[in-house]
Chain A
Amino acid sequence: MKLLKDKVAKLSFVALLAASSAAMLYTPTAAAHGEKSQAAFMRMRTIHWFDLNWSKEEVKVNDTMTVTGKFLVFAGWPETVDKPEVSFLNVGIPGPVFIRQGSWIGGQLVPRSVSLELGETYEFKVLLKARRPGDWHVHSMMNVQGGGPIIGPGKWTTITGSMKDFVNPVTTLTGETINLETYNLDNTYFWHALWYAIGLAWLAYWVRKPMFVPRSIAVESGKANTLITSTDRKVGVGFLVGTIAIVAMTMVSTNEKYPVTTPLQAGLLRGMKTFEMPAKTVTVKVEDATYRVPGRAMQMTLKITNNGDSAVRLGEFNTASVRFLDPAVLEDTTGYPDDLLAEEGLTVSDNSPLKPGQTRTVQVTASDAAWEVYRLADLIYDPDSRFAGLLFFFDENGKRQMITVDAPLIPVFI
């Protein structure tokens, strides 16, 4: 029995060592930003990102790239998420692997938070400068106060070179050009080291003498007042006066060295310029919509009316940044991320050109593994089981118009 116990103990110890080693040695890279975990309704019914373009797939340290595109602030914004009255255009990257050299909405620089209007479309651009080598997933992103980060599509981008070569030159209004990457660093180290040394000196003064046991005995026996000597008081006064003197003198000398300083800048930018989409001549009514769980397909019955003067066809359904295309109408040539692109994912029961003045009811099916991979199917577990997305119609001249759809979704389990 004892032999058995010993063996179990030994094996347990070996297993513990193996588990610890595995946990320490196996550290896979975090590959993305958890966008798949974000509630499906958040991605479908808040910010719709489209026309995204990443200017480069590979960039050297110190070189720049842009992420451009448009986003629609969905009019059917869910009640459970705060409205985007205070929002911030961000990028989803793993820390400062790029620096954000600029970000614009409607041509205006947006280093601060902005107020967005429901139902409006905005054009954006983010200028990134490569800093840290590696393969990074670069997302567009909108932070919404009370709503959290609403992440857009991401694309893998490679940064080559060495981070040691990275520089971030900035010219101040006082005419000095500095490297923001290392600016003020020596000064910071110096002051922290100096004050730490002064603190250590104060501590050293006391720890050189017997501390806890004899002093405790003295305090317990009513001799506490004898423990602080006149020398201690003089040294203490010296430290206090010295501290105040250093603080006062450095305050003055710092003000002389930096006569022009301003407070931190903060505030909300309102009245952002919106992007005018082409006039809509197509109307769409969602008759019903179902999600067939086993088939990973969403089916909509749409009643489409063409009020324009050119025949149109449905080319794309875009929801939560996943693009379902009808290849007979539209092929992607922008290099959109493969995992978010269902090139043959859109099927329309009758996608022949819809002539001007004509109305047609069609069955539209958006099917792709992306429903599962991007956890959009989890929509059926949301408290407000609705779907939303963008439909893109194309006329005979290739002109595009965008129609939003927003309707209840019924899951089909069998």
Chain B
Amino acid sequence: MSASQSAVRSRAEAVKVSRTFDWMILFTLFFVVLGGYHIHYMLTGGDWDFWTDWKDRRLWVTVAPIVSITFPAAVQACLWYRYRLPYGAVVCILGLLLGEWVNRYLNFWGWTYFPVNFVFPSQLVPGAIALDVILMLSGSMTLTAVAGGMAWGLLFYPGNWPVIAPLHVPVEYNGMMMTLADLQGYHYVRTGTPEYIRMVEKGTLRTFGKDVAPVSAFFSGFVSIIIYFLWHFFGRWFASTAFVEGENV
């Protein structure tokens, strides 16, 4: 076979090779993103995602969306510019959540015996679907950054509320009031995570009374817009192909 000959001999064979190629790329993409995104999220979201007694109305709501919109923005840009495929955010989140669940179940529970109801990860799928659909409908990275980034921030807290609310039920404990999440943090001893490390309920949103979560979510959405812009450039750069002249090689 010479270099100018095709590797396939029929259209059916070409389709088969193409589909095989699809699955290979998707498989690789999924696990590469899982690894990279997981490390990134553990380093930046860290304890806010690890423990229920960090999942508060202010900082968790603010920090988690901001640090998690990064990879979805980059992968969306790559898949959209090169292939018009609008599932970059969802594939990232599915990878991240699989990695997180493996980590929480095998390490946090299987290795160190923290109960899973104390260490489950945050839910990010609703925001990812919003990001992907907005990109597909608009075809615009700018609109996706603005509308999608805001949706990403706004959907985070309500998307997690069905799982978090039961842990915010109050309990009286030896003369003090705590939530069940606080009690989990107190009961299940973390030698290296003393109480003062917790960054929860800190801030200056004093005039909003008990309704600070929506304000935090809006702020998170605004910053997510900026982070989306930044990271979508990483995706575009990663997806670009640079050809070099022969004599310059």
Residue in A90, A98, A203, A216 whose CB lies within 8 Å of B82: A216
**A residues within 8 A CB of B197?**
145
6 smallest beta-carbon distances between A and B, as pairs: A143-B194, A261-B168, A88-B194, A195-B125, A113-B196, A227-B84
How many angstroms from the CA of A182 to the CA of B118 in the assembled complex? Answer: 9
Q: How far is the CB of B96 from chain A (nearest CB, A)?
A: 11
Q: Which residues of A contact B125 (CB under 8 A)?
A: 195-196, 198-199
Contact A203 B155 (CB under 8 A): no
Known: A191-B162, A264-B201. A109 touches B174 (CB 8 A): yes
Judge whether A113 and B181 touch: CB under 8 Å. no
Interface contact B21-A213, CB-CB below 8 Å: yes
Do A99 and B188 have beta carbons less than 8 Å apart? yes
Q: Does A13 contact B (CB under 8 A)?
A: no
A168 to B169, CA, bound (A): 16
Q: A183-B180, A240-B129, A261-B168 are in contact. List 12 more A-B contacts (CB 8 A).
A: A96-B189, A113-B195, A183-B117, A184-B163, A191-B163, A192-B120, A199-B93, A236-B132, A258-B166, A262-B169, A263-B56, A264-B182
Closest to B212 in A: A263
Smallest CB–CB gap between A153 and chain B, Å?
15
Bound form: Cα–Cα A211–B176 in Å: 58
B136 near A232: Cβ-Cβ < 8 Å: yes
Which A residues contact B (CB, under 8 angstroms)?
33, 86-88, 90-102, 109, 111-113, 131-132, 141, 143, 145, 149, 163, 168, 170-174, 176, 178, 180-185, 187-188, 191-192, 195-196, 198-200, 202-203, 206-207, 210-216, 218-219, 224-225, 227-228, 232-233, 236-237, 239-240, 243-244, 246-248, 250-251, 253-255, 257-258, 260-266, 268
Nearest-CB residue, chain A, relative to B29: A212
CA distance A236 to B139 in the complex (A): 13
Contact status B25-A100, CB under 8 Å: no
A180 with B184, Cβ < 8 A, contacts A192-B123, A207-B22, A247-B155 known = yes
A210 and B192 form a contact (CB under 8 A): no
Say if the beta carbon of B69 comes within 8 Å of chain A.
no
B134 at the interface (CB under 8 A from A): yes
Q: Which of A91, A200, A202, A219 meets B189, CB within 8 Å?
A: A91
Distance A191 CA – B158 CA, assembled complex (angstroms): 12
Within the complex, what minimum Cβ distance (angstroms) separates B131 from chain A? 10
**Given known contacts A236-B136, A264-B53, is B159 in contact with A247 (CB within 8 Å)?**
yes
Closest to A129 in B: B187
Please give the distance in Å from A238's CB to the nearest CB on chain B. Answer: 9
Q: How far is the CB of A117 from chain B (nearest CB, A)?
A: 17
In the complex, the answer to whether A111 meets B130 with C-beta atoms within 8 Å is no
Across-interface contacts of A243 in B (CB, < 8 A): 126, 129-130, 155
Which residues of B lie under 8 Å from residue A196 when comparing CB positions? 94, 97, 125
A97, A183, A185, A210: which has the most chain B beta carbons within 10 Å?
A: A183
B126 touches A111 (CB 8 A): no
Q: Given known contacts A236-B86, A247-B159, is B116 in contact with A185 (CB within 8 Å)?
A: yes
